[in-house]
Every structure is written in structure tokens, then in C-alpha cells.
Amino acid sequence: MHNFQYKKSELYAEDVPVRKIVEKYGTPLYIYSYTTLVRHYKAFENAFNGSPHIICFALKANSNAAILKTLAKEGCGADVVSGGELFLAMKAGIPANKTVYAGVGKTGEEIRYALKSGILMFNIESADELRTINKIAGESGVRAPIAFRVNPNINASTHPYISTGLKKHKFGIPMEHAIENYRLARKMPNINIIGIHCHIGSQITKISPFVEAVKKVLLLADKLKTHGIKIKYLDIGGGLGITYGNEVSPHPADIAKKIIPVIKDDHFTLILEPGRSIVGNAGILVTKVLYLKKSHKKEFVIVDAGMNDLIRPSLYEAYHHILPARKNRRAEILADVVGPICESGDFFARERKLNAPARGDLLAVMSAGAYGFSMSSNYNGRLRSAEILVKGCEYFVIRERETWKDLVRGEKIPGFLR
């Protein structure tokens, strides 16, 4: 559910016409709904209320400072995968002791920064990483809190590029090797074992893979107990899907009803890492129609946003609803909605039915709040868009549009070229 709705024929972001925001700030433009963000976060909090838990927002989905500040004020933690994301989380007011740090390639500099900051725990992905963290923790005079990310070999039934829980994936440690890795960690003087972590993928629209993963992790926790290794935190990752097209995604309460009874006797503190399910439907990308083109019996709607603004359709062939900012009664056409980038993969929709737009019309690419701006780039010398946060009848710039000067910021020309 989101707060982008039509009032008569005009698309609104909460209580503000989308067209009004665009008239002031131009396109392409990301617009977020504050009310939707808070409601989605509280859906997780309320679902697991009464059971010890920490909701750690996955910064990879959207790391805008105002988005993070909104969640921080609600009491949210963070799931980070780089030193930069840890910096952004803490700068926004998310406590380090409510932050988990995952990722297969943590650098020494990032590990030192995380230890100094006092994060809740590292989710370790390999024995090599474990040895590195132990060494750096010793040099830093601290004990590093850790969990191993285990790979439960579960098919999450999602796109191959965002499935992470099978043996063939680079993520985590195979479940059958978990015990030996935990025993190795126990021998290390600068390691404090406190958790188990698993994350099986993203945009998952069924409850059963989550439940299956939790059951496998609980079996591992029981085995660890027989080796004298006690687990406090059970991190079940994120990955809950949202509705982009016709998907029917479970509510956090649906997952809680299945998972809490399974773990209630084990006295774990549960950690969840939602990202897309909080911010995905809280944002849209607004773009302007530049040209209409017919070629070889095919129609194209050429817009001013491109794959550099929202790469999901190009990267995953992902579906996004595309709605007009103002409804029209023109004849329906079948067209590709494409951007200005010099790539054939630069599209938002292929063979999509829509009422024929006219030049200058505004289109809203829906459900663009997650993995939109966070994956954007300056490819083709394109400027990254502005971002706006709407709360009721007010709206605020939370990131200014880049300028051409930003394209060369930080670059230097060697003296011999001058």
C-alpha cells in the first residue's frame, strides 16, 4: 500500500499533485512518501511486537539521509555492506549497536572502522574473513562480535540475480561447513560469537522459504549448543517482496505468525533486514515525454529518464507500473517506454499498453523507491536526479539535482596534459 493516488484525474503524492512538484523541480525526479515509509516500518515493528527483535533497514535499497533519518527516529537499526553505508547510517542517527555488517568483501579499513564504531555484529562470509577480523580486532584491543552467514541451499523462487541462498552463490558458508567454522571462531582470542545469519534472496513473495530457512538455522543453533556455543541473535535477513505488477506479497504479520511460534522457546533476539518492503512502494520516478516515434510497426515513447536513473528494468527485466501524472482519454497504444541512453537495454517497459501520451506529458514509474537512486549513475554524462520527500501537503528537497560541474568534481588533469 502506498500514498500515490489519483484525485479526480490528477496523480497525488500524499496531498500534493505530482505535477506541482515537477513544475518546481523538473524531471527526472524521485518523489517519496513519508507516511508510506513510516507505515511500512511500523508494520514490521507491530508484527514482531512482544518478541525480542531488531529491525535493521537494508541501506542498499535506499541510503538517502532523510529516508534514513525518518527510520532512525522510529527506532530502526541498519543492515550495511560497506564502510560508506555504516558512515551514512550513523550520520543519520542510527546507533552502531543496532547495526549489522554483511558483505563478502569487507576491507581492513572498513573492519577497523566498524570495530571502532561499536557495531552490533559482523555477518561473516568466509574463514579467510574470520581470520582477518580476528587479527584486526587483536590489533585494536577489542573482541569482534560475529555471526556466520550460513547458506541454507534454499530456492527463494525469485530472479536469479537477486537469489542468494543456493550453494552456487558467492554468499555465506555452506550449512554443512558451519560447525567447523564456528569451532574455529571459538578458538580465536579476539572473536565473540553471538549470532547466526542467513539471507536467501530478494523480492520473495512466498512465506515458505523464510520458514524453511529459519528451521534449518534453528537446527544449526541446536547443534552448536552441543558444542558449547550459545547463540543470542538469530538474523534471518530480509527479502520480503512488494507488489510491482500482479504479485501478491505477504504482510510482515503473515511471516511473524509463522516464524515466532517456531523460535519462541529458544529465547533468541530476532534480527530482520527489510529494505525493499519498507521503501520500494514509498517512491516513484517521474519522467517527461520527450518524443513519440514509430519504427517498423513499433511505437516508442521516449522519456527524459533513463537506465542511469532506474536500472532495474534493464538489469532484471523488472516490471514497474507506469501511470500518467494526469489521466487522459486518448486511444490506447502498445509501445516501448524508453530513455535517452545509447543502449538498446535502456527501457522502462516493452510492449506496454497505455493511453497515448503527448509530448510534455508526465509519467510516473511506480514502486521505484528501492534500488532506484541507490543504483543510479552518471553514465552518458547524465546528471543524477533530485529527490523530494512529501509529508501531507508539504514537500522538501532531500537531494539537489546534480549539475554539469558535478560530473568533473574530484577529477584532476596531469600537468603534462595542460
Cβ pair 375, 64 in contact under 8 A: no
> Phi and psi for 405 in degrees, rounded to 5?
-65, -30
C-alpha to C-alpha distance for 305 and 293, rounded to whole angstroms: 16
C-alpha to C-alpha distance for 373 and 387, rounded to whole angstroms: 9
Cβ pair 356, 293 in contact under 8 A: no
Tell me which amino acid residue 108 is. G
How far from the centroid of its chain's Cα atoms is residue 127's Cα?
27
* 17's grid cell: 499533485
Q: At what angle do helices 178-186 and 127-140 cross, to 10 degrees?
A: 20
Closest alpha carbon to 57 in 237, 187, 194, 241: 237
* 381's grid cell: 554524462
Residue among 56, 76, 198, 342 flagged as catalytic = 342
C-alpha to C-alpha distance for 322 and 117, rounded to whole angstroms: 42
User: Is there a catalytic annotation at residue 56?
Assistant: no
Cβ pair 163, 200 in contact under 8 A: yes
- Give, in order, the Cα–Cα distances in Å from 101 to each of 149, 269, 306, 382: 11, 17, 32, 32
Question: Do strands 332-338 and 394-399 pair parallel, antiparallel, or not at all (unpaired)?
Answer: unpaired
C-alpha to C-alpha distance for 23 and 44, rounded to whole angstroms: 36
- Residues designated as active site: 342
